[in-house]
Amino acid sequence: MQKMILRSLVPVITAGLVLFTGCKPKGAQSAVSGDAAAKVYVAPGKYDEFYNFVSGGFSGQMSVYGLPSGRLFRVIPVFSVDPEKGYGFNEETKPMLNTSHGFVPWDDLHHIALSETDGIQDGRWVFGNANNTPRIARIDLKTFRTAEIMEIPNSAGNHSSPFITENSEYVVAGTRFSVPIGDNQDVPIDSYKQNFKGTVSFIGLDKTTGKMNLSFQILTPGVNFDLARAGKGKSHGWFFFSCYNSEKANTLLEVNASQKDKDFIMAVNWKKAEEYLKAGKGQKRSVKYAHNVYDENKHSATSEIMNEVTVLDPKDCPDMLYFMPCPKSPHGCDTDPTGEYIVGSGKLAAVIPVFSFTKIQAAIAAKDYDGTYDGIPVLKYASVLYGEVQKPGLGPLHTEFDDKGNAYTSFFVSSEIVKWNIKDLKVLDRVPTYYSVGHLCVPGGPTRKPWGKYVIAYNKITKDRYLPTGPELTQSAQLYSIDGDKMKLLLDFPTIGEPHYAEAIPAELITKNSQKIYKIEDNQNPFAAKGDNFARVERKGNEIHVYMTSIRSHFTPDNIEGVKMGDVVYFHVTNLEQDWDIPHGFAVKGANNAELLIMPGETQTLKWTPEKPGVYPMYCTDFCSALHQEMQGYIRVSAAGSNVPISFSTGKTVPDSLSATSNR
């Protein structure tokens, strides 16, 4: 082993020596500069400077990394089940994954939005979107747990989501797929142009709790919404959504949705929409969507099916929506820290158009239109354009901003990040990415106050960058320093799922609120056993409820008898510990279920249906003390007609004469 490693390292180091001797990196392989290792080295026991919240893509989860080290701290289960944490398996969290389609165990999490106050990240919540079965999740950053999930009705492919306004008034959700909306959805697919509509939804957030409420939806022409950004500063009150397929194609979009020279960025005056809503212009539509909330005192979730949504139709609401032409299938749509500039990125374009909010307002005032699209005014491109970045690269996708008036745009086709100045639109620097970069992240990059320092590239292809692991390779991110004039590659680090968007935030904004335990006194789970006096086993018809406590290192009770075939057993396990980082696990042999992983002060429930009579061991799965291996017990299952009474105990030793008797 050692030999092999040495053998493989030596040539690398030697190559390093050769390359770095000259101090003049040339070509792709020499892109790392000499002090890169020192810049990303976080010594053992030391903390990283930033948290990096990264979408887990088709894993359905959100991952948390440290920067600059690229170390993975946590995978937060959001839209997919996670047997390791019991998420979606224990009785308490199953309702989180309920939808109008029933229980959905998987989704595709694309984008991240950190909550903001006055346009600055405040470290309270992070939002993620489910792309497949449209939903938005709110994660509480005190506990790093999914606190709430709201399904979005009248939507399909919730891609243009969950972007946030500067005071966390709303997160939004725009449909990627337009779909038939209304009572009759069984229509011919080729009736797209008549029957298919898009929507953008505004989900209001409670100022103190963050609780979501589907405030209103806006009905739109049947285009495909892609990405979005809120206005900020002077443009606060507006939202910008990029969209493609203004051709309204319903087949072979690769060709048919790329016919027109320009698609659109849709500008939404959401303050105006609020006025229309107040004036009663909204129509109540009958829909079905799930709203799931995790109660952190009861340690359990509830799912409520909602039946109505308020829809604003632009026909009844003039001056609420405008389209701005944007070249070649726009993808990214990013507002700069001042809120004056909106950067559109056409996936197939050779320029980056930058729109001016001041000019947009002037064009609207002067009715400087280039006709209408489905009745919605189209602003003249030349009238709203601040300027174009010329020859930036091939296939611009996303733009982030630093604290010095610069923008960073990712180029998928030419695999590079390009730094340019927002004011004079001049390209300042470019660095290669390995390979095919998608999203970018600058700490605080989408806010009024970028923290700068780094840009991270989230790449679509890694090819030869890591040791091969069969046909599927790791996903990857790359960290670049942006302190100086030139961007410098510092680090590659692997990521889970496919990383789409990510945000980074200074560590202190999170750590100061981080919760260590659940106070046992505040535990309101109806199945909690708050102390051994409450540890018991109860029969209710064919349900057996085991109220169990765990503490280093035993369960109470740990010997249970009286379960019969046909019974369903619920283990309600309360962790009585009140010390940080002391979870207990719980598993029972043969359960067609996951484990429980119970945090200090918490109660979680595992459902188990025994499949045959016998004695089943159960144990603690999370190493808790020197006597962790002793943290175990037995549960006996008897035949359906047996007369074994319910009994339970811990630490009760029976006389040898009695224990020798079998078949009691």
Partner 1 sequence: MFQKSTTLLLISASLFFASCGEGVQKEPKPVDVQELTKNQNEEHGPIVKESDITVTNPLKSDWVTAGKATYELKCQSCHRLTGEKLVGPGWLGVTKRRTPVWILNMVTNTEMMLSNDAEAQKLLELCMVRMPQQNLKLDQAREVLEFMRNNDGEK
Nearest distance in Å: CB 451, partner 1:
10
Cβ closest to partner 1, residue 347 vs residue 453: 453
Nearest distance in Å: CB 65, partner 1:
15
DSSP string spanning 37-60? Answer: HHHH---TTPPPSEEEEEE-BTT-
- Per the omega criterion (within 30 degrees of 0), is the bond before 553 cis? yes
Q: Strand, helix or coil at 81?
A: coil
Cβ closest to partner 1, residue 45 vs residue 470: 45
Nearest distance in Å: CB 600, partner 1:
8
List Cα–Cα distances, 273 to 162, 165, 208, 511, 513, in angstroms: 19, 15, 23, 37, 35
Nearest distance in Å: CB 661, partner 1:
26
Cβ closest to partner 1, residue 551 vs residue 606: 551
Cβ closest to partner 1, residue 30 vs residue 303: 30
Nearest distance in Å: CB 551, partner 1:
4
Nearest distance in Å: CB 210, partner 1:
22
Nearest distance in Å: CB 32, partner 1:
9
Look at the chain and count its residues. Answer: 664
Residue 65, both tokens: 């990394």
Nearest distance in Å: CB 48, partner 1:
7
C-alpha span between 382 and 545 (Å, rounded): 70
DSSP string spanning 93-158? Answer: TGGGGEETTEE-----EEEEEEEEETTEEEEEEEEEEETTTTEEEEEETTTTEEEEEEE-SS-BS-
Nearest distance in Å: CB 484, partner 1:
6
Cβ closest to partner 1, residue 5 vs residue 660: 5
Nearest distance in Å: CB 655, partner 1:
18
Cβ closest to partner 1, residue 367 vs residue 512: 512
Strand-pairing partners, residue 432, are 416
Nearest distance in Å: CB 20, partner 1:
5
| Residue whose tokens read 């991110």 | 477
Q: In the 8-state DSSP scheme, what is residue 644?
A: P
Cβ closest to partner 1, residue 319 vs residue 483: 483
Nearest distance in Å: CB 242, partner 1:
35
C-alpha span between 136 and 205 (Å, rounded): 12
Give the count of beta carbons closer than 10 Å to the beta carbon of residue 453.
19
Q: Are strands 179-180 and 196-205 parallel, antiparallel or unpaired?
A: antiparallel
Here the contacts of 79-82 (C-beta below 8 Å, separation 24 or greater) are: 79/104, 79/106, 79/107, 79/108, 79/109, 79/128, 79/130, 79/135, 79/137, 79/149, 80/105, 80/106, 80/107, 81/105, 81/106, 81/594
Q: Tell me if 137 sits within 8 A of 121, measured CB to CB.
A: no
Cβ closest to partner 1, residue 348 vs residue 507: 507
Cβ closest to partner 1, residue 533 vs residue 592: 533
Cβ closest to partner 1, residue 280 vs residue 484: 484
Nearest distance in Å: CB 337, partner 1:
19
Cβ closest to partner 1, residue 32 vs residue 306: 32
C-alpha span between 331 and 328 (Å, rounded): 9
Query: Measured over all CA atoms, what is the biggest interatomic distance in the chain, rounded to whole angstroms?
Result: 99
User: Considering only CA atoms, which of 333, 372, 181 is closest in space to residue 243?
Assistant: 333
SS3 per residue for 501-528: CEEEEECHHHHCCCCCCCCHHHCCCCCC
Cβ closest to partner 1, residue 185 vs residue 653: 653
Residues near partner 1, by CB under 8 A = 1-2, 5-6, 9-10, 13, 16-17, 20-21, 23, 33-38, 46-49, 483-484, 506-508, 511-512, 514, 516-517, 519-521, 530-533, 549, 551-554, 556, 576-580, 582, 625-627, 651
Cβ closest to partner 1, residue 18 vs residue 28: 18
Over its C-alpha atoms, the chain yields an Rg (Å, rounded) of 28
Q: In the 8-state DSSP scheme, what is residue 270?
A: H
3-state DSSP helix/strand/coil percent for the chain, to nearest 5?
Answer: 15, 45, 45
C-alpha span between 620 and 550 (Å, rounded): 9
